[in-house]
Amino acid sequence: KGKTVLITGASKGIGAATARTLAGMGAHVVLAARSAEALAKLAQETGGRAFPCDVSDFAQVRALIEATGPIDTLINNAGLIDPIARLADSDPGAWGRVVDVNVKGVYHALRAVLPGMIERGSGTIINISSGAATSALEGWSHYCATKAAVLSLTRVADKEMRSAGVRVIGLSPGTVATDMQRKIAASGINPVSQLGWEAHIPPEWVGQAIAVLLGPKGDAYCGTDFSLKTEEGRAA
């Protein structure tokens, strides 16, 4: 309550649901993504502030932090999975773009908020990783590799920052009913859930899990690879 929370990838899916949950609990949400119109709508709904931004560009992320002022909590959520393709058919440019968003984007937001958090001696960062970080999923090489990098980055950041009063938590949300899963299903390659759309986790539940991790008893659950599982017990 009363904390300023920056959420990347807030224009839809898990990021938007998390913004609604946290704003409903009294947080001041700062919403970042590329889709300006969706962000403006959500800002109106949540009483938050919208900052259109491409997280793969450090200059844009740094400008955002300069404009917002102190950030107490960062939800490093922006991510991409498409285009889904087996390695032999993959396009090097598109593959690299996933690295730019999923790895560099997470690093950029961390890098931009950490000096302020260290100076104030407090802060919490949740990096959204995935069960894909520790799985070999055909057609998802860029996604598996980049989410493994997020897990690794989270572990190092947590180790470096704990003594400065900054917690860095990794969260793997399971199979969540968002556009990302729609794209996976449409690709026809390796759709995660055989049980259908209704078995996917609603994005609102991920928002609630994030609220628990940020809450007073959050430390009991925190770690650098905290996972939510689908009904199938198979992480996404």
Binding site for ligand NJP (CB under 6 A): 8-15, 33-35, 54-56, 77-80, 101, 105, 128, 130-131, 172-173, 175-176, 178-181, 236
Q: Choose between 122 and 134: whose C-beta lies nearer to ligand NJP.
A: 134
CA–CA separation, 179 and 187 (whole Å): 12
Nearer to ligand NJP, 124 or 129 (CB): 129
Tokens for 179, please give them: 């556009």
Q: How far is the CB of 33 from ligand NJP (least distance, A)?
A: 3
CB of residue 105 to ligand NJP, shortest distance in Å: 6
CB of 74 to ligand NJP, least distance (A): 13
131 in the Ramachandran plot: left (φ > 0), alpha (ψ -120 to 50) or beta?
A: alpha
Rounded CA separation 28/47 (Å):
8
Do residues 160 and 203 lie in contact, with contact meaning Cβ atoms separated by under 8 Å? no
Q: Least distance to ligand NJP from the beta carbon of 55, Å?
A: 4
Cα Rg of the chain, angstroms: 17
3-state secondary structure of 99: helix
Of 94 and 119, which has the nearer Cβ to ligand NJP?
94
Residues that are catalytic: 143
For residues 212 and 22, what is the distance between their CA atoms, to the nearest angstrom?
A: 10
Handedness of CA 138, 142, 145, 151 (dihedral sign): negative
Return the number of the residue (35 or 122) whose C-beta is nearest ligand NJP.
Answer: 35
